[in-house]
Every structure is written in structure tokens, then in C-alpha cells.
Amino acid sequence: MLLPDHSYVKVDSLEDCLERLRENGEKAMIVAGGTDVIFNMRLKLFDPEVVVSLRGLEELEKVEEIADGGLRIGAGARLADLAENPIINSRYPAFADSIRAVASTHIRNMATLGGNICLQTRCAYTNNSEQWREGLKTCYKTDGNICHVLKSSTKCHAINNADTPLALIVLGAVLTIQNTDGSRDVPIAEFYSEDGMDNTMLKPDEVVTFITIPEVTDRTTFLKIAPRAGMDFSIAAVAARCDGSGADVSKVTIVLGSLSTHPIVLDKPARIVSEKGLTDDAIAEAVEQVREELGELTNLFSRTVYKKRMANVIVKRALVALREM
């Protein structure tokens, strides 16, 4: 499958990159590792006139410890490097696990953290060749006005399948977003929206430049369910965090991914175990509440009933894993 015609812009600095994005607006698309962008361009799902590459911008590849004990990671840092980073492995094990959960070693050698955070939503109907899609009416994601997954819906239900954002949400990470007008810091928990088509708060001229993770001493875990490890996107994934020790906790955070258009931060299940501790009974009660908060799940990529069951299973496993740490 050939790439559609486009011009490729290799920039020398972040300023140059931001200027190119400002000049080209909606016509431009950022490429970082390209593991998603290039593939989707070949499928003619993305058709940017200008591709602006972040490759080689050293300022976006650094990992630096910051004064208050946290870590500042450039969005262009490669996942393979981050997976080997000793600070990430010792201080943020759930984040390290989420990085290693992304695709295969080959893909992680190219893929960047920024690209994973900004990964566009996926759908079995759109992430297919142009020829395959021609057999269907265009949908919200391909300039039409229907969702093939949920025909009665007025919005797109493509799924956010990225793994690292779940761990970054439980860690309280903050994204730095820049354009030529300046920069703003946004907690990653507020970055995603419920619209499968326009899934993040990024504007066309904006770049995620840095990810800042505060110091975290709590217990954390990341788990993923996928048909084949090292190859497939998650069917369901979870990141969870708690303070205290053993079953004794006062604050638990649970984030589910790959089930919907956005990561889902569970409220009631987290409150139950925060108040009652990580006992078998409280975990069972919390798990019972999970499906109430999943929202409108679809049959996309796997059956809804299976997804609901997997969500329960993976939350239970995560809470037990936290207790045993």
C-alpha cells in the first residue's frame, strides 16, 4: 500500500516545529516514531498534506530528574529506552510495565511516549484498507454521519487503546502542551474526551513536549489482557495505585483502558476499597460496582459481555496485586 502524496518536513528545533504546525494548521500531522501514523497513512485513513517529524529533536528525548523528586520525560523519548531506564524501573514500576506492554520490541524501538499518549482511537471498521472501507458507508471518523459500531449513536465509538496513559493517570502525570503562543500544563487525567473522533484536547498546532511525573511512593500496578503478548492491543488494561501497606489503605485509584473512547477512572469501586481496605469482601464489593461505571460499551474488537467480564477480572487482579506488594 503506497503512502498518499505528502511533503515531509524535518525540523531542526522545537521552535521550527511549532512554526511549521502553525503555518500548516489542519493540513499538517506530527509524526514521532511513525508506528501508527505511517501505517494509517498507508490505509489512507490519514491523509495529511504535510508531515512534520519530531525525530532527532534532542530536547524532546531527554529524561531528567526534577527538584522535588519527580521525573520530566521528553515526549520524543523512545519506549525502548524508557523501558530500560533504571529510574523508571525502580521508582515507577507500573509505568515501566505499561511501556513494556506496548506492542513488540521492534515497535518500541521506534515508538515514542508522546506518540503513545496521542495515539488516535482505533476502530475495526476504519482501521482497514481503503478498498475494504469502500464496502461501507462513511462513518463519523471518515467524514460521514453514522457510527457502524453503534448505529443509533450520534458520536464515534472508536477505542482509545494506548497503554501508558493508564499508568500515567494513576501517577498524577502532567503534560506540557506547546504551540507558538506558549505552553500550558494539563494533568493527563483531563487530556482525553469521550468523543472517539476528537479524542484529546490537542489543537492542530499543538505538540505534547514533556511529561512530568511527581514523586510517588505508593504501591502501583499495571495489567493488560491481550490475545497475544508482544503483538496485540489490549482487550482491557488497568492501572491502580494505593497508599498504606497490606490491606490497610486510605486512598485507592483505579483506571481502566481499551474499553471505551477514553481511559475510565473508576469512582465508586475505588471509594469502597479506600474506605473498607483491600480485604477480600471489599474487593468483591468494589468489583461488583465496576460495570456500573463502564458507560456505553460496544461490541468493537470483542463482545460487550466479554469486556464487562474482563473489566471485573482485571480490576480484581489489580487490587489483589496491590495488597500483596
Ligand X SMILES: Cc1cc2nc3c(=O)[nH]c(=O)nc-3n(C[C@H](O)[C@H](O)[C@H](O)COP(=O)(O)OP(=O)(O)OC[C@H]3O[C@@H](n4cnc5c(N)ncnc54)[C@H](O)[C@@H]3O)c2cc1C
Is residue 162 within the footprint of ligand X (CB under 6 A)?
yes
Residue number, 79 or 252, with CB nearest to ligand X: 79
Is residue 149 within the footprint of ligand X (CB under 6 A)?
no
Is residue 48 within the footprint of ligand X (CB under 6 A)?
no
Residue number, 160 or 274, with CB nearest to ligand X: 160
Report whether 200 contacts 118 (CB < 8 A).
Answer: yes
Is residue 11 within the footprint of ligand X (CB under 6 A)?
no
Is residue 39 within the footprint of ligand X (CB under 6 A)?
yes
Task: Find the binding residues for ligand X in span 73-112 (CB under 6 A).
Answer: 75, 79, 102-103, 107, 110-112
User: Is residue 313 packed enough to be buried (19+ CB in 10 Å), middle (13-18) or exposed (0-12)?
Assistant: middle
Query: Checking DSSP bridges between strand 28-31 and strand 252-257, what pairing results, if any?
Result: unpaired
Cα distances (Å, whole numbers) of residue 259 to 128, 152, 162, 178, 181: 20, 19, 11, 29, 35
User: Is residue 19 packed enough to be buried (19+ CB in 10 Å), middle (13-18) or exposed (0-12)?
Assistant: middle
* Shortest-Cβ-distance residue relative to ligand X: 115
Phi, psi of 224 (to 5 degrees): -135, 140
List Cβ neighbours of 67 (8 Å cut-off, separation of 6 or more). none
Cα–Cα distance measured from residue 267 to residue 240, given in angstroms and rounded to the nearest whole number? 12
Site string for ligand X, 194-233 (x = CB under 6 A): --------x----xx------------------------x
Among 82, 119, 278, 297, indicate the residue that binds ligand X (CB under 6 A).
119
Among 24, 71, 92, 163, indicate the residue that binds ligand X (CB under 6 A).
163
User: C-beta of 72: minimal distance to ligand X in Å?
Assistant: 14
CA neighbor of 205 nearest in space, from 28, 55, 34? 28
User: C-beta of 196: minimal distance to ligand X in Å?
Assistant: 14
| Interaction site with ligand X (CB under 6 A) | 29-37, 39, 54, 75, 79, 102-103, 107, 110-112, 114-116, 118-120, 161-163, 202, 207-208, 233
